[in-house]
Amino acid sequence: MKKNVVIFIFPEVEVLDFAGPYEVFSVANALSGHENFNVITAAESPGSVHACTGLKVVPDYTLENCPAPHVLIVPGGFGTRALLNKPALLEWFRVKARKAEVVMSVCTGAWVLAKAGLLEGLRITTHHDGLDVFA
């Protein structure tokens, strides 16, 4: 059975933070004969998302219609700051993380997982400019 790799994207997401994992899982899938992963993007709402550099990305799904993630990835970027004040979004992460096999973040995406209460008791890190947020 293919595993759903869901990469959450949001306004002001760092391009490398979502494109890097997308590429890694997509290439791994191609090398396996396209049998291991469904690599998809999801956003809070339909329509294009503007990354931090202005790149427009059209997500495959919204959070409402997104397939259940086996692997859930939260990238970083300046836009993570706004996500910290969205209780419904944080609850979505909590609910989906319960059934996911792997929940991971890139850079300041860790802030979102921490705010959702998903990093309790774990050793974590993020970009050195963002460590004060964890304190």
SS3 125: coil
Task: Find the catalytic residue in 5, 6, 13, 107.
Answer: 107
Give residue-wise pLDDT tens across range 4-62.
999 999 999 999 999 999 999 999 999 989 899 999 999 999 999 999 999 999 999 99
Using DSSP bridges, classify how beta strands 49-50 and 61-62 pair: parallel, antiparallel or unpaired.
Answer: unpaired
Question: Interior CA angle at 133 toward 129 and 135, to 5°?
Answer: 115
Distance between first and last Cα of the chain: 40
Bridge partners (DSSP) of residue 4 are 38
Taking the C-alpha atoms of residue 89 and residue 105, their distance in angstroms, rounded to an integer, is: 15
pTM: 0.93
Structure tokens of 120?
A: 């309790």
Judge whether 107 counts as a catalytic residue: yes
List, in order of start, the domains of the chain with CATH numbers.
3-134 (3.40.50.880)
